Amino acid sequence: MPKNIKPFFEEEINKYSCALHNHEMAKAWHHLERAHVIGQRFPIQHTETHWKMLILGCRTGNFKEMIGQVVRLVFGAPLSFINQIPVGNVGSSRVSMTRPQPIPKDIQEILME
C-alpha cells in the first residue's frame, strides 16, 4: 500500500478498534467497510479487513457474515493480487461480493492522491 494512502487505512482500522472496544458494533462495521474500500486494491490490507470482518461476525454471532467472510477470504482476497475486485465494494455480506459500488467522495480523494 502506498505511503500516502496507508495512514487513512490505519485511521479507519483504529476507529473500528475504538468502536469495538466501546461495543458500538454498527460503527465498527462502518469503519471496517471504509477500510475495505480503501484497502481492497492491496492484497495485505484487503485480506486484513476480511479477517477482521470474520472476527466481528463471530463476536456478533452473525452466521451469514461468518460464512460470507470465509468465502471472501478463500476466493475474494486472492483476486486483489490480480486486480480483479469489484471497485467500491464494502466487503461485508450485506452486499454481493461481485457487486461494484460507488466510492464515497472522501475516499475517492484519498485514492487519487
Length of the chain: 113
Would you state the cell numbers that stand for residue 26, as one nine-digit string?
Answer: 454498527
pLDDT digits (tens, 9 = 90+) for 23-63: 999 999 999 999 999 999 899 999 999 999 999 999 999 99
Q: Does pLDDT of 107 surpass 90?
A: yes
Alpha-carbon gap, residue 14 to 105, rounded angstroms: 21
Helix pair 25-39, 43-60: axis angle to 10 deg: 160
pLDDT digits (tens, 9 = 90+) for 63-96: 999 999 999 998 877 777 777 778 888 988 888 8
Q: Are 62 and 28 in contact (CB under 8 A)?
A: no
pLDDT digits (tens, 9 = 90+) for 10-22: 999 999 999 999 9
